[in-house]
Amino acid sequence: MESFRTTPPNLFSLPPRLKRLGELAYNLWWTWNPDAERLFKLIDTDLWEQVYHNPVRFLQQMERARANAVSYDRYYLDLYDRVFRAYDRYLAAEQTWFKEAYPGLAEKTIAYFSMEFGLHECLPIYAGGLGVLSGDHLKEASDLGLPLVGVGLMYTHGYFSQRITEDGWQEMRDFKLELRESPVALVYDQDKNPLMVFVDLPGRRVYAQIWEIRVGRVPLYLLDSNVEQNEHHDRALTSRLYNSDPDVRISQYILLGVGGVRALRAMGFHPRAWHLNEGHSAFLGLELARELVEQGMSFEEARLKLREETVFTTHTPVPAGNDEFPTWLMDKYFANLWPELHLSREQFFALAHNQHPWGETFSMPILAMRFAQFCNGVSELHGQVARKMWHFLWPDREVDEVPITHVTNGIHTGTWLARRLRALFDRYLGPDWIEHVDDPLMWDYIEKIPDRDFWRVRRHLKRKLVHYIRERARARWIPGGFHPVQVIAEGALLNPYALTIGFARRFAPYKRANLILNDFDRLLNLLNSPNRPVQIIFAGKAHPDNEQGKRLIQEVYRAVKLAENGGRLVFLEDYDMNIARYLIQGVDVWLNTPRRPNEASGTSGQKAALNGVLNFSVLDGWWREGYNGRNGWAIGNETDFDDPAEQDRHDAESLYHVLETEIIPLYYKKRSSDGLPGEWIARIKESIRTLAPAFSMRRMVKEYTGKLYSPALEGIQVDKVGR
């Protein structure tokens, strides 16, 4: 169903020959097609970097003379024509994987709700892994032709911009996303006014306008409360992601769940399947039930009907990480709703009741599971953990019979693969290899790539990373206010030929960013070995309310600043998707040290593996499934310790031992006459061959479709036991 959105306004002064660049700027298809990105970059490389790869701002600020110049460059025009032929074929394709595999379902819409979407650094409306996974999901749904529509919130102040003080303390810097300079377009009604929806909050009605982002063939709709009809405090309701104020948070969840359903209805969408990516959007079940009760159904009939259509994905392996609200807050926001559902207060609270020693709560994941027949974790181990964690909801069943399955996370290949590697794969795997990225047999052809060609690309990517980090440190130093020690801490002394380890993720205590600092003298011996140096690059943010996470950053940063490490420990502030691409493409080894079994899945290591980076990780999340003994290294084993301190000591000893006896010797092993590290390259090829297909987003979305979407679209009852 097409929305009422008008074509984005013509904000650009472009030569007639290049007029379609404006159209391309508003479809994020360009973000996973390197030649399409080059159409902007080749006009003015410096400006492309200055606007942080935002094509709308780029075209607004571009000098007309530069566009005129390339409009007469036959090489540029050849690329331009080739890109738009591919773009038009893509959008107009009649035969897609979904239509061929599920021809009877092609006209039934899947609504995908998520609190955040990480699509590209020019749209900083994401915090981390959950958002990036959601963005990759939309891109692959587009590639496969799924009839999917995304729903979320528009955060005009995003998550936060991170700055690290000289003492290592994380500070938040505010920024504002200028929507008129971003690849988003306002949705209008048939009278050409901004389309509005509303939700009722205590004592007031809150309105939201709707922004559309085109993700290939998939539309994403984001609700924005910054409209004149709202009071000042409500205009800021959607300004920031993951607000710690419980009133703001529950209001955001109501706007996402209830307002999101109303937005789809207002645009003419009638989804047959609903996918809740985490529990933030679980209030949508209440809104859908309200619609059915209004039509004459009982609440229980409505709930059972909705269960057949609803998918819920949980990403949280520990109870404390799940959203819950106190009963008094639910009374405040929902006292007017349960009469509309023909429920008593007790019946309403029973939908998501969770009992703790300190009192009762209303649990968003439990509410989601009441309305969702199809529930899944995001790795095999996480599925096991989730079944144990939520077993109390099905006390009459064995743990293994709890109806929570798993679909292991994957990554969108086109988004994360380095352009040079993609060209190499085009040459040796065939021009349409990316259409078969989930086929393990196709990846056997990786052996055809000559070691010399492969190593040349790997060295280029590492030099590119080091150059980027050095120039970034220089740019931070030039304006002043940046201590010279911080310039070194930002990577000014990095060596493009030393063994380089990357550690980049959210700084939460269970991820143990400080594990490698456990025996600092031992670490220094590794870093400063005269002939076999090692350097480690850290990056990541702590949640603004997580004091332990902030202290963890401070501990790491203080170690980074010490002169004894010789500049071989680095911390990159303000981690985002752009920095992530440089890191997962440019380092040699990707380090991951979660405390088992707290890593639900993780995907950063999957991105690194795709680019020829070897994983060195605890056997948790996806790596437990991916590791085969030859495609990377494991930290520790599958033993779970009751004492966290004992587990930390055990894992730290394993980490050091493997570095000292396996990884470093293999990287610096005496090379053959051709100067190539043959055994290291063999391990890289084994990593790509085994991990690229198994942990691709293509495999993941196909698995979601077969196990969850298709039965939901068909209304098939799988778990007939009511909850």
Q: Is residue 356 part of a domain?
A: no
Read off the pLDDT band of 228 (50, 70, 90): very high
Number of domains in the chain: 3
Read off the pLDDT band of 718 (50, 70, 90): confident
Q: Is residue 348 part of a domain?
A: no
Q: Which residues fall within 8 angstroms of residue 298, CB to CB, at 6 or more apart?
A: 342
**Looking at residue 632, what is its pLDDT?**
97
Q: Which residues fall within 8 angstroms of residue 206, CB to CB, at 6 or more apart?
A: 198, 199, 200, 225, 230, 234, 237, 251, 255
**Angle subtended by helix axes 34-41 and 74-92, to nearest 10:** 140
| DSSP conformation letters of 302-315 | HHHHHHTTEEEE--
| DSSP conformation letters of 69-80 | HHTT-HHHHHHH
Please answer whether residues 271 and 298 qualify as being in contact, where contact means their C-beta atoms are separated by less than 8 angstroms: no
Domain-ending residue, one of 69, 92, 115:
92
Residues 632 and 507 in one domain: yes
Q: Is residue 658 part of a domain?
A: yes
- Where would I find the H helices in 478-529? 484-489, 520-527
Give the mean model confidence (pLDDT) for residues 652-666: 97
Which residue segment(s) compose the domain that 195 sits in?
104-325+362-409+703-714
**Where are the strands (E) in 187-300, listed by range?**
196-201, 204-215, 218-224, 273-277
What's the pLDDT tens digit per position in 256-304? 999 999 999 999 999 999 999 999 999 999 999 999 999 999 999 999 9
Read off the pLDDT band of 720 (50, 70, 90): very low
**Looking at residue 430, what is its pLDDT?**
87
Residues 383 and 451 in one domain: no
Give the mean model confidence (pLDDT) for residues 219-244: 95
Cα 118–Cα 3–Cα 119 angle in degrees, nearest 5: 10
Residue 189: HSE in the Cβ half-sphere, 13 Å Cα cutoff: 10
Least confident of 5-9, 198-202, 203-207: 5-9
Measured from the Cβ of residue 204, the count of other Cβ atoms closer than 10 Å reads: 12
State how far the Cα of 22 lies from the Cα of 14, in Å rounded to an integer.
Answer: 8
**Looking at residue 719, what is its pLDDT?**
63
**Looking at residue 322, what is its pLDDT?**
86
Residues 121 and 52 in one domain: no
DSSP conformational letter for 696: B
Domain-ending residue, one of 92, 115, 148:
92
Read off the pLDDT band of 3 (50, 70, 90): very low
Least confident of 320-329, 401-410, 557-566: 320-329
pLDDT at residue 721 is higher than 50: no
Q: Is residue 321 part of a domain?
A: yes
Task: Provide the token pair at 83.
Answer: 């890109």
pTM above 0.75, yes or no: yes
Residue 459: HSE in the Cβ half-sphere, 13 Å Cα cutoff: 10
Q: Is residue 113 part of a domain?
A: yes
Q: Is residue 163 part of a domain?
A: yes
Least confident of 30-34, 48-52, 171-175: 171-175
State how far the Cα of 551 lies from the Cα of 507, in Å rounded to an integer.
Answer: 9
Task: Provide the token pair at 722.
Answer: 């009511």
Q: Is residue 723 part of a domain?
A: no
Residues 575 and 679 in one domain: yes
Residues 548 and 665 in one domain: yes
In the predicted model, what is the mean pLDDT of the chain? 94
Residues 48 and 158 in one domain: no
State how far the Cα of 150 lies from the Cα of 183, in Å rounded to an integer.
Answer: 16
Task: Measure Cα distances from 490 to 99, 537, 551 in Å.
Answer: 49, 9, 19
Residue length, the chain?
723
**Cα 329 vs. chain centroid, distance in angstroms?**
30
Residues 633 and 527 in one domain: yes
Residue 601 sits in a domain of what CATH number?
3.40.50.2000
**Angle subtended by helix axes 697-704 and 129-144, to nearest 10:** 80
Please answer whether residues 266 and 197 qualify as being in contact, where contact means their C-beta atoms are separated by less than 8 angstroms: yes
Give the mean model confidence (pLDDT) for residues 39-51: 97
What is the rounded end-to-end Cα distance, in angstroms, of the chain?
A: 33
Residues 418 and 402 in one domain: no
Read off the pLDDT band of 4 (50, 70, 90): low
Looking at the DSSP bridge assignments, the partners of residue 220 are 150, 213
Q: Is residue 9 part of a domain?
A: no
Give the mean model confidence (pLDDT) for residues 681-696: 98
Residues 189 and 82 in one domain: no
Report the sign of the C-alpha dihedral through residues 110, 115, 117, 118, in that order. negative
Looking at the DSSP bridge assignments, the partners of residue 321 are none
Instruction: Say whether 385 sits in a helix, a strand or coil.
Output: helix
Residues 619 and 506 in one domain: yes
415, 4, 262, 708: CA torsion to nearest 10: -40
- Nearest Cα neighbor of 535 from 489, 498, 488 is 498
State how far the Cα of 607 lies from the Cα of 47, in Å rounded to an integer.
Answer: 28
Give the mean model confidence (pLDDT) for residues 673-686: 92
Read off the pLDDT band of 1 (50, 70, 90): very low
What's the pLDDT tens digit per position in 385-415? 999 999 999 999 999 999 999 999 999 999 9
Residues 397 and 417 in one domain: no
Residues 377 and 487 in one domain: no
Q: Write the Ramachandran bin of 162: left for phi over 0, alpha for psi from -120 to 50, otherwise beta.
A: beta
Residue of higher predicted confidence among 56 and 722: 56
Cα 155–Cα 157–Cα 159 angle in degrees, nearest 5: 80
Domain-ending residue, one of 92, 113, 134:
92
